[in-house]
């Protein structure tokens, strides 16, 4: 039996033991149901409005059903003969383990920790991204990166962490030591816990919740950017705050290789691009025009707009919680794509301005004619 099922079935035994069980108060405090992707209906999956996200949700549901078939006899022995009820309780137990277990050295699936359930989640620090605006048209500007500390907002939650403490044989939660330049946790401030570097879709898959638009710096959308027509594309991860470092390097190289004016071999291109540098005005302008167009095309392909999604959420009263989560997730993706469109267009315009300036700089005053005097 898989470790996850071992822990899930042990939880079911405690639940079915009733009020006399030593863990009854803890089990009673758990949610009656969860919102992990594995529980979503076909209609709720479709509300994500993204084929890759829908596939992720469908696979999670299918994997759960297959796992149940592997341990169905054991589950029925614990909860009773009704197979439908047995699956519902197994689904609940697996969701509990996925969303609440903490890592321990003595069991591969982890352990359930009542204290850990009290902490809310704070996202991991943002990835290091390249500030493309204001960067040179060719080469590397060593200062053109953004970091977590430079993006900090005074109201942002400070992520703590938790780990097994071998000396005390306990799982210890603590306020993590903060890097230089970041504030520490103030008195009476809530302590959050960071589970790791998760996108919003991964949070939905493993924990059953999502952060709001622009609240998760680890969230991104993988944008397919056409390089040479529709046949050749490059994948670009677009984060809340910008573009993935390596993906942007690949995109810059792909567009630079198209242009005969770039007098560099591929090794030289990679050396510059991997350090965050641009590969020439024309290649840069073409690359960011393609990124802009790809973001626009994806935004236009959604059945609903970001504005309508926002209005739906603002007026939300009753309905499926999973459906509300789906709308929140897709709104976050649309905000990311809108940001990518604006950033790419701003960079393209910068390169247009550079081209215009260069063209004017080449004009010789000796060849500029002056108006003839009127007679």
| HEC letters along the chain | CCHHHHHHHHHHHHHHHCCCCCCHHHHHCCCCCCCCHHHCCHHHHHCCCCHHHHHHHHHHHHHHHHHHHHHHHHHHHHHCCCHHHHHHHHHHHHHHHHHHEEEECCEEEEEECHHHHHCCECCCCCCCEECCCCCCCEECCCCCEECCHHHCCCCCCCEEEEEEECCCCEEEEECCCCCCCCCCCCCCCCCEECCCCCCHHHHHHHCCCCCCCCCCCCCEEEEEEEEECCCEEEEEEEECCEECHHHHHHHHHHHHHCCCCCCCCHHHHHHHHHCCCEECHHHHHHHHHHHHHHHHHHHHHCCCCHHHHHHHHHCCCCCCHHHHHHHHHHHHHHHHHHHHHHHHHHHHHHHHHHHHHHHHHCCCHHHCCCCCCCC
For the record, the structure tokens of 303 come out as 């059945």
Q: For 113-125, how does the pLDDT look when each residue is reduced to its tens digit (9 = 90+)?
A: 998 888 899 888 8
The per-residue pLDDT for 262 is 60
pLDDT at residue 319, rounded to an integer: 86
- pLDDT computed for residue 231 by the predictor: 78
User: According to the model, what pLDDT value does residue 363 have?
Assistant: 43
Backbone angles phi, psi at 338, to 5 degrees: -65, -40
CA dist., res. 216 & res. 197, Å (int): 10
**What is the pLDDT, as a whole number, of residue 80?**
87
The whole model's pTM is what?
A: 0.87
| CA–CA separation, 198 and 3 (whole Å) | 23
Report how far apart, in Å, the C-alpha atoms of 82 and of each of 39, 69, 70, 105, 239 are.
19, 14, 17, 36, 46
Domains of the chain: 3-115 (no CATH), 220-361 (3.90.1420.10)
Residues in the chain with pLDDT < 70? Answer: 142-155, 176-184, 230, 260-263, 355-375
pLDDT in tens, 313-338: 999 988 899 999 999 999 999 999 99
Cβ 294 vs Cβ 223: under 8 Å: yes
Residue 368: its pLDDT value, please?
40
Q: Which region, left, alpha or beta, applies to residue 345 given φ > 0 means left and ψ of -120 to 50 means alpha?
A: alpha
Q: Kindly list the distances between the CA atom of residue 364 and the CA atoms of 265, 355, 356, 369, in Å, as whole numbers in the listed order.
A: 33, 17, 15, 11
Q: What's the pLDDT at 146?
A: 56
The pLDDT of residue 115 is 87
Spatial distance between the Cα atoms of 279 and 24, rounded to a whole number of angstroms: 64
Q: What is the predicted pLDDT for the residue at 260?
A: 61
In the block, tokens 């969230």 appear at 219
Are residues 7 and 108 in contact, defined by beta-carbon separation less than 8 angstroms? no
pLDDT for 150 equals 43
**With the CA atoms of 33, 36, 39 and 43 taken in that order, what torsion angle do they form, in degrees rounded to the nearest 10?**
120
């Amino acid at each position: 039996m898989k470790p996850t099922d071992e822990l899930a079935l042990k939880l079911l035994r405690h639940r079915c033991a009733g009020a006399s069980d030593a863990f009854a108060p803890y089990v009673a405090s758990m949610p009656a149901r969860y919102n992990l992707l594995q529980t979503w209906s076909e209609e709720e999956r479709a509300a994500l409005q993204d084929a890759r996200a829908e596939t992720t949700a469908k696979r999670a549901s299918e994997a759960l059903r297959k796992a149940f078939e592997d341990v169905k006899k054991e589950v029925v022995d614990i909860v009773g003969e009704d197979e439908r009820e047995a699956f519902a309780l197994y689904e609940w137990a697996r969701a509990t383990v996925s969303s609440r277990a903490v890592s321990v050295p003595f069991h591969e699936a982890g352990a359930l920790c009542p204290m850990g359930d009290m902490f809310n989640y704070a996202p991991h620090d943002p990835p290091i991204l390249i500030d493309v605006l204001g960067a040179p048209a060719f080469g590397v500007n060593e200062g053109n990166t953004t970091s977590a500390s430079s993006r900090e907002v005074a109201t942002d939650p400070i992520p703590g962490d938790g780990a097994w403490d071998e000396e005390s044989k306990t799982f210890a939660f603590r306020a993590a030591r903060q890097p230089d330049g970041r504030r520490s946790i103030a008195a009476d401030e809530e302590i959050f816990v960071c589970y790791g570097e998760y996108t919003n879709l991964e949070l939905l898959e493993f924990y059953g919740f999502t952060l709001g638009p622009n609240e998760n710096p680890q969230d991104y959308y993988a944008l397919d950017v056409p390089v040479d027509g529709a046949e050749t594309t490059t994948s670009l991860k677009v984060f809340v705050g910008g573009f993935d470092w390596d993906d942007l390097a690949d995109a810059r190289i792909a567009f630079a290789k198209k242009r005969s004016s770039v007098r560099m071999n591929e090794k030289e291109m990679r050396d510059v691009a991997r350090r965050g540098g641009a590969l020439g005005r024309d290649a840069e302008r073409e690359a960011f025009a393609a990124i802009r167009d790809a973001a626009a095309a994806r935004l236009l392909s959604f059945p609903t707009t970001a504005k309508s999604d926002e209005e739906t959420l603002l007026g939300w009263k009753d309905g499926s919680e999973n459906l509300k989560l789906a709308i929140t997730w897709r709104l976050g993706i649309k905000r990311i794509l809108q940001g990518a469109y604006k950033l790419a267009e701003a960079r393209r315009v910068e390169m247009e301005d550079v081209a215009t300036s260069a063209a004017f700089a080449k004009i010789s005053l000796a060849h500029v004619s002056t108006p003839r005097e009127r007679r």
